[in-house]
């Protein structure tokens, strides 16, 4: 079993904001992250697939194929977008890095199974080099 | 003469948008960077001051003081903000990295002169690890 | 279950030195790391908390709160200090990265439980970009 | 139990090529990675050993010793070499990062056991900052 | 005057080898860099253009256009290639990083002038994170 | 003219302390950097040599030779040392990064001239990734 990872990136705006709360409560809980006019990040996304390397190719998964899957199903929907407003699969959800990582898992897991015997192991998402999350599908 | 640098960072939303142009022309020239609902970045800012090290301290400028100046006069106005909407000194200006670097120079130059015999040499601003600008005040 | 991480940093002096051993044996085992007049590092500390994101905030733990906890209970005691001499919780212990990571775990685990439903998962400590340790509390 | 890691690096040429396949099939499956005249990478290798820190040294394993083992048994055979042609332990194997990580495990595991009570936990191998694999010996 | 930079990357094989010299002299002068079967690197290329930001766009040069120029005229000819064998513009030249940077300048300078009022200022080329060169066209 | 750079690193302890001042004044001016029991850093040193690439080698300077010079004349005297106490060429001088960079220039300039037609252009010294200096010998 080998764990194979591909790193991609996207830039997006967002804010942390709970629509069931008052402005004051949002400000109190989320601080500057709730700025009404948004802020943004250079997100880094690391997708890890695990499996047994194929005898003919030496690959768990072709990383060019994995890169294409990530770009067409995830990056194209997030890059240069507003996570709260522009992204269909984030509608009605908190735009936190935790929630975003879980939603990216839901999109990528079936796509990876289609092209590879490997299975999705982890979604790691850096909001900044100092703040990041990992989701293992559990 | 020694060149002394301090790196700080801020997260902000922006879009590239010329209000004198139609939506179509903005889209044509700026592409996804003109997304109506904004996008954003983790900006990295490197401020360089040049001067002769002081005989008593060995310093061109006290980097703790420089850090405080950058944070109070620049970072506090940009961090978790929208560059087009929330930032007084960017009002009526294009929110490009080039223009932002030049405006940061204008703010920092007199502040540095107040606390140090060193003079501002360079503003280096990373929009992403792949796209960055430098302004030397010329 | 999502794993949420925060990176902080501190600068410190230390030496590797076993007081039960002769100078010669310390030199033989620890080499230049036992230099009598100390050496030092820019340490990078990554603290990972695991839990289920809260429905109201989308957070496992508020990373601003986590950052404040790490700074007030750990970084303030280590930054610009000598690990062998100045740090109460390292007294009588080997100043290795392994031991330091285990001691940081002991301090942070109860603090995190106080403010979050998440639990401490990992302490990762970089002595240099080439030498680092991880402790999972086991 | 603490996990201790050492990072080393080497530069090598390789190509992805299955000798049982036609040129066309190699080109179809591996694309530019099958370029007949090779291409190359700056590989980064992270070796992780797990164990209980020794009471006298505070070490799971002496990282200087671990570095020497990695350099003499692995790096010296790979650095400034062609993975397909020059490396005895890769003969007859696919020169993929997955396979290389598994072969490095086979070499390092017994060497680490000889000098330490710690055991090899992981081989992490970066082909580029965007493409990397991890092998845990399972 | 603002300096605007774009970072791109490519992977390539090469060797340092002077065909006018004996094998022994090549080995003596270039050491492992002259390995007959090649070695390789992940090269990082930073292209800097200087100019006055355009009043309408805020740009010295559109970095998407600059990226396209670098990819189509330079990266496509170098990526997953052998610098000594596969690259037309390196034929008959030493495959050192110095020479490669100078040749990249020759290619990019006229292309940048075609699409921008900015002029090429610098080619910075990292062979590894530890070894790199810069050429300013002088 | 090409600028060729080599990056090396060393770990050291130091404090900022002016022996002509009282403890109070040292504390006031240098803050935690004057901690009596020292602190320390992972320093990164970038040495840049400029010159015309040699027609036979393609080199401004052989980077392996440059690395050896830096290690034997500078790194060996600084690594795992106390800058204030253990380093002959820093005796009686402020242990600031500015002063250290200038002293490293004095050592390296004649050594580089001995082995190369290139001349020393710059000493860049990172105390942390956030604080760094550059000296051009002027």
pLDDT at A135: 98
The alpha-carbon gap from F56 to the nearest alpha carbon of chain B, in Å, equals 34
Q: Is residue A17 part of a domain?
A: no
Distances (CA, A) of F110 to A53, F44, F69, F113, F117: 54, 21, 11, 5, 12
Tell me if F98 and B64 make a contact (CB, 8 A cut-off): no
Weakly modelled stretches of chain E, pLDDT under 50: none
> Which tokens go with D37?
């005249």
Average pLDDT, chain C: 97
Q: What is the CA radius of gyration of chain E?
A: 17
pLDDT at A124: 98
Q: Which of D9, D28, D39, D80 is catalytic?
A: D80
Q: How far does Cα E114 stand from its chain's mean position?
A: 19
| pLDDT tens-digit profile, chain F (138 residues) | 999 999 999 999 999 999 999 999 999 999 999 999 999 999 999 999 999 999 999 999 999 999 999 999 999 999 999 999 999 999 999 999 999 999 999 999 999 999 999 999 999 999 999 999 999 999
How far apart (Å, rounded) are the C-alpha atoms in residues A38 and A82? 9
pLDDT digit string, tens, across residues A11-24: 999 999 999 999 99
How far from each other are the two terminal CA atoms of chain B, in whole angstroms? 19
Region D107-131: what's the mean pLDDT? 97
pLDDT at A57: 96
> Which tokens go with F100?
């250290």
How far apart (Å, rounded) are the C-alpha atoms in residues A93 and F23? 56
Query: Strand, coil or helix: what is C40?
Result: strand
Spell out the SS3 assignment of chain A: CEEEEEEEEEEEEECCCCCCCCHHHHHHHHHHHHCCCCEEEEEEEEEEEEECCCCCCCCCCCHHHHHHHHHHHHHHHHCCEECCCCCHHHCCCCCCHHHHHHHHHHHHHHHHHHHCCCEEEEEEEECCCCEEEEECCC
Name B76's Cβ contacts closer than 8 Å, sequence gap at least 6.
none
Region C35-44: what's the mean pLDDT? 98
Name C128's Cβ contacts closer than 8 Å, sequence gap at least 6.
C41, F9, F11, F42
Tell me if B3 and F94 make a contact (CB, 8 A cut-off): no
Query: Strand, coil or helix: what is C66?
Result: helix
Q: Do chains C and A touch (3 or more CB pairs under 8 A)?
A: yes
Are B134 and B100 in contact by the 8 Å Cβ rule? The answer is: no
List chain D residues with CB under 8 Å of C97.
4
> Which tokens go with B119?
């003079």
Q: Is residue F54 part of a domain?
A: yes
pLDDT at C17: 96
Q: Is residue E36 part of a domain?
A: no
How far apart (Å, rounded) are the C-alpha atoms in residues F133 and B81? 30
pLDDT digit string, tens, across residues D29-78: 999 999 999 999 999 999 999 999 999 999 999 999 999 999 999 999 99
pLDDT at E41: 98
For helices D97-115 and D63-70, angle between their N-to-C axes, nearest 10 degrees: 130
pLDDT at B22: 96
Q: Is residue C96 part of a domain?
A: yes
> Which tokens go with E82?
């052998």
Q: Is residue B86 part of a domain?
A: yes
pLDDT digit string, tens, across residues A77-95: 999 999 999 999 999 999 9
How far apart (Å, rounded) are the C-alpha atoms in residues E7 and C51? 38
| CATH code of the domain containing A97 | 3.30.479.10
Q: Which of F9, F23, F80, F98 is catalytic?
A: F80
A123 has which bridge partners? Answer: A47, A135
pLDDT at F52: 97
The alpha-carbon gap from F75 to the nearest alpha carbon of chain E, in Å, equals 15
pLDDT at A49: 98
At residue E73's C-alpha, the angle toward residues F58 and E16, to 5°, is 20
Tell me if F53 and E98 make a contact (CB, 8 A cut-off): yes
Q: Is residue E60 part of a domain?
A: yes
Range of B83's domain? 2-8+44-135
ipTM of the complex: 0.96
Q: Is residue C25 part of a domain?
A: no
How far apart (Å, rounded) are the C-alpha atoms in residues E56 and F136? 38
pLDDT digit string, tens, across residues C49-77: 999 999 999 999 999 999 999 999 999 99
Q: Do chains E and C touch (3 or more CB pairs under 8 A)?
A: no
State the total domains in chain F. Answer: 1
Minimal Cα distance from A125: which residue of C? C4
Tell me if B53 and F102 make a contact (CB, 8 A cut-off): yes
Weakly modelled stretches of chain B, pLDDT under 50: none
**Which pTM was predicted?**
0.98
List chain C residues with CB under 8 Å of A133.
2-5, 60
Are E9 and E45 in contact by the 8 Å Cβ rule? The answer is: yes
Q: What percent of chain A has pLDDT over 70?
A: 100
Q: Is residue A25 part of a domain?
A: no
């Amino acid at each position: 079993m080998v764990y194979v990872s591909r790193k991609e990136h996207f830039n997006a705006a967002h804010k942390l904001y709970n629509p069931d709360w008052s402005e004051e409560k949002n400000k109190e809980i989320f601080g500057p992250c709730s700025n009404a006019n948004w802020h943004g990040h250079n997100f880094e996304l690391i997708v890890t697939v695990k499996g047994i390397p194929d005898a003919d190719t030496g690959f768990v998964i072709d990383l060019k194929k994995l890169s294409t899957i990530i770009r067409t199903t995830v990056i194209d929907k997030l890059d240069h977008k507003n996570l709260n407003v522009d992204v269909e699969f984030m509608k009605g959800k908190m735009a936190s890095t935790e929630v975003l990582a879980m939603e990216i898992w839901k999109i990528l897991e079936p796509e990876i199974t289609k092209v590879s015997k490997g299975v999705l192991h982890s979604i790691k998402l850096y909001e900044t080099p100092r703040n990041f999350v990992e989701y293992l599908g559990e």
